[in-house]
Amino acid sequence: MNQTQTTEAAAREPLLTMHQVRKAFGSNQVLQGIDLEIYPGEVVCLLGPSGSGKSTVLRCINQLETIDSGSINFKDEYIGVRPKNGRWFDLTERQKARQRREIGMVFQKFNLFPHMTVLENIMEAPVKVKGITPDAARQTARDLLERVGMAAFGDRYPVQLSGGQQQRVAIARALAMDPELMLFDEPTSALDPELVGEVLDVMRELAKSGRTMMVVTHEIGFAREVADRIIFMADGTIVEEGPAASVVGSPQMERTQQFLSAVIH
Ligand code: ADP
Ligand code: MG
Protein backbone atom coordinates (compact mmCIF):
# COMPACT_ATOMS: atom_id res chain seq x y z
CA MET A 1 0.00 0.00 0.00
CA ASN A 2 1.29 3.46 -0.77
CA GLN A 3 0.83 6.39 1.57
CA THR A 4 -2.39 7.62 -0.07
CA GLN A 5 -4.01 4.20 0.13
CA THR A 6 -3.06 3.87 3.79
CA THR A 7 -4.60 7.25 4.59
CA GLU A 8 -7.78 6.43 2.69
CA ALA A 9 -8.09 3.09 4.44
CA ALA A 10 -7.72 4.82 7.80
CA ALA A 11 -10.38 7.35 6.86
CA ARG A 12 -12.83 4.52 6.15
CA GLU A 13 -12.44 3.02 9.63
CA PRO A 14 -15.56 3.86 11.62
CA LEU A 15 -15.06 5.92 14.76
CA LEU A 16 -18.07 4.19 16.30
CA THR A 17 -19.73 0.88 15.51
CA MET A 18 -22.87 -0.45 17.17
CA HIS A 19 -23.46 -4.12 16.50
CA GLN A 20 -26.77 -5.79 17.31
CA VAL A 21 -27.29 -3.61 20.38
CA ARG A 22 -30.28 -4.63 22.46
CA LYS A 23 -31.68 -2.86 25.48
CA ALA A 24 -34.84 -3.46 27.48
CA PHE A 25 -36.41 -1.63 30.38
CA GLY A 26 -38.33 -4.41 32.12
CA SER A 27 -40.53 -5.98 29.48
CA ASN A 28 -40.16 -2.99 27.16
CA GLN A 29 -37.65 -3.96 24.46
CA VAL A 30 -36.44 -0.46 23.58
CA LEU A 31 -33.54 -1.29 21.23
CA GLN A 32 -34.11 -4.36 19.11
CA GLY A 33 -30.69 -4.99 17.61
CA ILE A 34 -29.22 -1.70 16.44
CA ASP A 35 -26.42 -1.77 13.84
CA LEU A 36 -24.81 1.49 12.89
CA GLU A 37 -21.47 3.02 12.04
CA ILE A 38 -20.26 6.58 12.39
CA TYR A 39 -17.21 7.65 10.41
CA PRO A 40 -14.74 10.35 11.44
CA GLY A 41 -15.97 13.80 10.44
CA GLU A 42 -19.50 12.62 9.71
CA VAL A 43 -22.62 14.43 10.84
CA VAL A 44 -25.42 11.93 11.35
CA CYS A 45 -28.93 12.99 12.32
CA LEU A 46 -31.16 10.51 14.11
CA LEU A 47 -34.84 11.05 13.39
CA GLY A 48 -37.89 9.18 14.56
CA PRO A 49 -41.08 9.39 16.56
CA SER A 50 -41.07 9.90 20.29
CA GLY A 51 -40.32 6.67 22.14
CA SER A 52 -38.49 5.05 19.22
CA GLY A 53 -35.25 4.71 21.21
CA LYS A 54 -33.18 7.63 19.91
CA SER A 55 -32.15 8.93 23.33
CA THR A 56 -31.42 5.40 24.49
CA VAL A 57 -28.99 4.97 21.58
CA LEU A 58 -27.08 8.09 22.64
CA ARG A 59 -27.26 7.18 26.33
CA CYS A 60 -25.81 3.72 25.63
CA ILE A 61 -22.95 5.25 23.64
CA ASN A 62 -22.21 7.61 26.52
CA GLN A 63 -22.58 4.87 29.16
CA LEU A 64 -25.52 6.52 30.86
CA GLU A 65 -27.19 3.15 30.23
CA THR A 66 -25.68 -0.32 29.93
CA ILE A 67 -26.62 -2.54 27.00
CA ASP A 68 -28.11 -6.03 27.40
CA SER A 69 -26.35 -7.59 24.41
CA GLY A 70 -24.44 -6.68 21.28
CA SER A 71 -21.48 -4.35 21.34
CA ILE A 72 -20.44 -0.76 20.92
CA ASN A 73 -16.99 -0.15 19.58
CA PHE A 74 -15.38 3.27 19.81
CA LYS A 75 -11.87 3.96 18.52
CA ASP A 76 -10.94 0.28 18.54
CA GLU A 77 -12.14 -0.32 22.10
CA TYR A 78 -15.41 -1.69 23.35
CA ILE A 79 -17.53 0.74 25.32
CA GLY A 80 -17.85 -0.28 28.96
CA VAL A 81 -16.47 -3.78 28.58
CA ARG A 82 -13.38 -5.74 27.65
CA PRO A 83 -13.31 -9.20 26.10
CA LYS A 84 -11.08 -11.80 27.72
CA ASN A 85 -10.99 -15.55 27.09
CA GLY A 86 -14.29 -15.41 25.23
CA ARG A 87 -16.11 -13.54 28.03
CA TRP A 88 -16.98 -9.91 28.67
CA PHE A 89 -15.66 -8.09 31.71
CA ASP A 90 -16.87 -4.68 32.86
CA LEU A 91 -14.31 -1.92 32.72
CA THR A 92 -13.40 -0.21 35.97
CA GLU A 93 -15.03 3.15 36.74
CA ARG A 94 -11.74 4.79 35.92
CA GLN A 95 -11.57 3.14 32.51
CA LYS A 96 -15.19 4.04 31.78
CA ALA A 97 -14.51 7.66 32.76
CA ARG A 98 -11.59 7.75 30.34
CA GLN A 99 -13.87 6.60 27.52
CA ARG A 100 -16.62 9.02 28.51
CA ARG A 101 -14.45 12.07 28.28
CA GLU A 102 -13.84 11.49 24.59
CA ILE A 103 -17.57 11.75 23.97
CA GLY A 104 -19.34 15.05 24.59
CA MET A 105 -23.07 15.25 25.14
CA VAL A 106 -25.51 18.12 24.90
CA PHE A 107 -28.96 17.51 26.31
CA GLN A 108 -32.38 19.00 25.73
CA LYS A 109 -32.12 20.62 29.15
CA PHE A 110 -28.96 22.65 29.37
CA ASN A 111 -27.69 21.13 32.64
CA LEU A 112 -25.27 23.94 33.44
CA PHE A 113 -24.02 24.11 37.02
CA PRO A 114 -26.23 26.89 38.46
CA HIS A 115 -23.77 28.00 41.15
CA MET A 116 -20.93 28.57 38.67
CA THR A 117 -20.38 31.36 36.20
CA VAL A 118 -20.31 30.60 32.48
CA LEU A 119 -16.50 30.56 32.47
CA GLU A 120 -16.37 28.31 35.53
CA ASN A 121 -18.84 25.92 33.92
CA ILE A 122 -16.61 25.55 30.88
CA MET A 123 -13.35 25.31 32.85
CA GLU A 124 -14.61 22.72 35.34
CA ALA A 125 -13.99 19.48 33.44
CA PRO A 126 -10.71 20.43 31.75
CA VAL A 127 -9.27 21.45 35.14
CA LYS A 128 -10.78 18.68 37.29
CA VAL A 129 -10.70 15.80 34.85
CA LYS A 130 -7.85 16.57 32.47
CA GLY A 131 -5.62 18.42 34.90
CA ILE A 132 -5.26 21.49 32.64
CA THR A 133 -4.02 24.59 34.50
CA PRO A 134 -6.78 27.11 35.34
CA ASP A 135 -5.07 29.79 33.24
CA ALA A 136 -4.95 27.58 30.15
CA ALA A 137 -8.50 26.34 30.73
CA ARG A 138 -9.75 29.94 31.09
CA GLN A 139 -8.11 30.90 27.80
CA THR A 140 -9.67 27.91 26.02
CA ALA A 141 -13.02 28.74 27.60
CA ARG A 142 -12.81 32.31 26.32
CA ASP A 143 -11.96 31.09 22.82
CA LEU A 144 -14.91 28.71 22.89
CA LEU A 145 -17.27 31.41 24.15
CA GLU A 146 -16.15 33.58 21.26
CA ARG A 147 -16.90 30.73 18.90
CA VAL A 148 -20.47 30.29 20.17
CA GLY A 149 -21.06 34.04 20.19
CA MET A 150 -21.05 34.35 23.98
CA ALA A 151 -17.75 36.18 24.57
CA ALA A 152 -19.42 38.92 26.62
CA PHE A 153 -21.13 36.53 29.03
CA GLY A 154 -18.27 34.72 30.79
CA ASP A 155 -19.00 36.20 34.21
CA ARG A 156 -22.76 35.68 34.12
CA TYR A 157 -24.59 32.90 35.94
CA PRO A 158 -26.81 30.50 33.96
CA VAL A 159 -29.99 31.95 35.46
CA GLN A 160 -29.11 35.29 33.88
CA LEU A 161 -29.11 33.80 30.37
CA SER A 162 -31.84 32.90 27.88
CA GLY A 163 -32.34 29.25 27.00
CA GLY A 164 -30.56 29.69 23.68
CA GLN A 165 -27.59 31.32 25.39
CA GLN A 166 -27.45 28.56 28.01
CA GLN A 167 -27.48 25.92 25.31
CA ARG A 168 -24.65 27.65 23.45
CA VAL A 169 -22.66 27.64 26.71
CA ALA A 170 -23.49 23.95 27.16
CA ILE A 171 -22.07 23.27 23.69
CA ALA A 172 -18.91 25.26 24.55
CA ARG A 173 -18.63 23.29 27.79
CA ALA A 174 -18.78 19.97 25.93
CA LEU A 175 -16.23 21.21 23.37
CA ALA A 176 -13.82 22.21 26.13
CA MET A 177 -12.92 18.53 26.51
CA ASP A 178 -12.22 18.39 22.76
CA PRO A 179 -14.26 15.19 22.34
CA GLU A 180 -13.84 12.94 19.31
CA LEU A 181 -17.60 12.57 19.09
CA MET A 182 -20.35 15.01 20.02
CA LEU A 183 -23.80 13.71 20.84
CA PHE A 184 -26.79 16.07 20.78
CA ASP A 185 -30.14 14.96 22.15
CA GLU A 186 -32.83 17.32 20.89
CA PRO A 187 -30.71 20.36 21.74
CA THR A 188 -33.37 22.83 20.59
CA SER A 189 -36.54 21.12 21.79
CA ALA A 190 -36.75 23.00 25.09
CA LEU A 191 -36.20 26.41 23.47
CA ASP A 192 -38.65 29.12 22.59
CA PRO A 193 -38.99 29.11 18.79
CA GLU A 194 -37.15 32.40 18.31
CA LEU A 195 -34.07 30.97 20.08
CA VAL A 196 -33.76 27.78 18.03
CA GLY A 197 -31.86 29.42 15.15
CA GLU A 198 -28.94 30.70 17.21
CA VAL A 199 -28.25 27.18 18.55
CA LEU A 200 -28.60 25.56 15.13
CA ASP A 201 -26.17 28.17 13.75
CA VAL A 202 -23.55 27.10 16.28
CA MET A 203 -24.12 23.44 15.42
CA ARG A 204 -23.88 24.19 11.72
CA GLU A 205 -20.50 25.85 12.28
CA LEU A 206 -19.32 22.86 14.30
CA ALA A 207 -20.37 20.50 11.55
CA LYS A 208 -18.45 22.58 9.00
CA SER A 209 -15.35 22.47 11.19
CA GLY A 210 -15.27 18.69 10.76
CA ARG A 211 -16.43 17.64 14.23
CA THR A 212 -17.98 14.17 14.25
CA MET A 213 -21.57 14.58 15.43
CA MET A 214 -24.65 12.47 16.13
CA VAL A 215 -27.71 14.67 16.44
CA VAL A 216 -31.17 13.61 17.56
CA THR A 217 -33.47 16.32 16.28
CA HIS A 218 -36.92 17.12 15.01
CA GLU A 219 -35.50 19.99 12.94
CA ILE A 220 -35.90 18.30 9.57
CA GLY A 221 -34.65 21.34 7.66
CA PHE A 222 -31.45 21.36 9.69
CA ALA A 223 -31.01 17.62 9.22
CA ARG A 224 -31.50 17.87 5.50
CA GLU A 225 -29.05 20.73 5.16
CA VAL A 226 -26.31 19.68 7.58
CA ALA A 227 -26.38 15.89 7.92
CA ASP A 228 -24.15 13.72 5.78
CA ARG A 229 -26.46 10.86 6.63
CA ILE A 230 -29.85 10.46 8.25
CA ILE A 231 -30.90 7.44 10.28
CA PHE A 232 -34.62 7.01 10.76
CA MET A 233 -35.65 4.92 13.76
CA ALA A 234 -39.02 3.56 14.84
CA ASP A 235 -39.91 1.07 17.58
CA GLY A 236 -36.31 0.36 18.53
CA THR A 237 -35.08 -0.46 15.04
CA ILE A 238 -33.41 1.40 12.20
CA VAL A 239 -36.04 1.59 9.50
CA GLU A 240 -34.07 3.47 6.88
CA GLU A 241 -30.81 5.32 6.48
CA GLY A 242 -28.96 7.13 3.77
CA PRO A 243 -27.87 10.52 2.47
CA ALA A 244 -29.99 13.31 3.93
CA ALA A 245 -31.47 14.35 0.61
CA SER A 246 -32.73 10.87 -0.19
CA VAL A 247 -34.11 9.95 3.25
CA VAL A 248 -35.96 13.26 3.59
CA GLY A 249 -36.53 13.91 -0.12
CA SER A 250 -37.64 10.45 -1.24
CA PRO A 251 -38.03 8.10 1.72
CA GLN A 252 -38.41 4.47 0.68
CA MET A 253 -40.20 3.03 3.70
CA GLU A 254 -43.81 3.74 4.53
CA ARG A 255 -42.95 4.31 8.20
CA THR A 256 -40.50 7.06 7.23
CA GLN A 257 -42.98 8.62 4.81
CA GLN A 258 -45.68 8.72 7.52
CA PHE A 259 -43.33 10.34 10.01
CA LEU A 260 -42.06 12.97 7.59
CA SER A 261 -45.48 13.91 6.34
CA ALA A 262 -46.57 14.41 9.96
CA VAL A 263 -43.65 16.69 10.87
CA ILE A 264 -43.11 18.65 7.65
CA HIS A 265 -45.79 21.26 7.21
P1 ADP B 1 -36.89 8.67 22.09
O2 ADP B 1 -35.67 9.41 22.53
O3 ADP B 1 -36.83 8.17 20.69
O4 ADP B 1 -38.14 9.45 22.34
P5 ADP B 1 -36.25 6.95 24.32
O6 ADP B 1 -34.97 6.30 23.96
O7 ADP B 1 -36.21 8.05 25.28
O8 ADP B 1 -37.03 7.36 22.98
O9 ADP B 1 -37.23 5.88 24.94
C10 ADP B 1 -37.58 4.67 24.28
C11 ADP B 1 -38.49 3.88 25.19
O12 ADP B 1 -37.77 3.52 26.36
C13 ADP B 1 -39.72 4.62 25.65
O14 ADP B 1 -40.79 3.71 25.67
C15 ADP B 1 -39.35 5.06 27.06
O16 ADP B 1 -40.49 5.17 27.85
C17 ADP B 1 -38.46 3.94 27.52
N18 ADP B 1 -37.45 4.36 28.51
C19 ADP B 1 -36.44 5.23 28.27
N20 ADP B 1 -35.67 5.39 29.37
C21 ADP B 1 -36.22 4.60 30.33
C22 ADP B 1 -35.90 4.31 31.70
N23 ADP B 1 -34.83 4.87 32.29
N24 ADP B 1 -36.70 3.46 32.36
C25 ADP B 1 -37.76 2.88 31.77
N26 ADP B 1 -38.12 3.09 30.49
C27 ADP B 1 -37.37 3.94 29.77
MG1 MG C 1 -35.45 11.30 23.32
* Per-chain mean pLDDT for the chain: 94
Report yes or no on 120 lying in a domain: yes
Would residue 24 count as lying in a domain? no
Classify residue 241: in a domain, yes or no: no
Q: Give the residue, by CA position, lying nearest to ligand 1 atom 14.
A: 51
Instruction: State residue 12's pLDDT score.
Output: 79
Decide if 129 is inside a domain: yes
pLDDT for the residue numbered 7: 53
Chain centroid, CA 60 distance in Å: 11
pTM for this predicted structure: 0.94
What share of the chain has pLDDT > 70, as a percent?
95
Domain contains 219: no
pLDDT at 83 over 50: yes
169 is in which domain, residue-wise? Answer: 112-178
- Please check whether residue 227 lies inside any domain of the structure: no
**Structural domain includes residue 123:** yes
Q: Which atom of ligand 1 is nearest to the CA of 57?
A: 6
Q: Other CB atoms closer than 10 Å to residue 64's CB: what's the count?
A: 12
Residue 126 lies in a domain: yes
For residue 56, the CA-to-ligand 1 centroid distance in Å is: 6
CA of 110 to the centre of ligand 2 (A): 14
Counted domains in the chain:
1
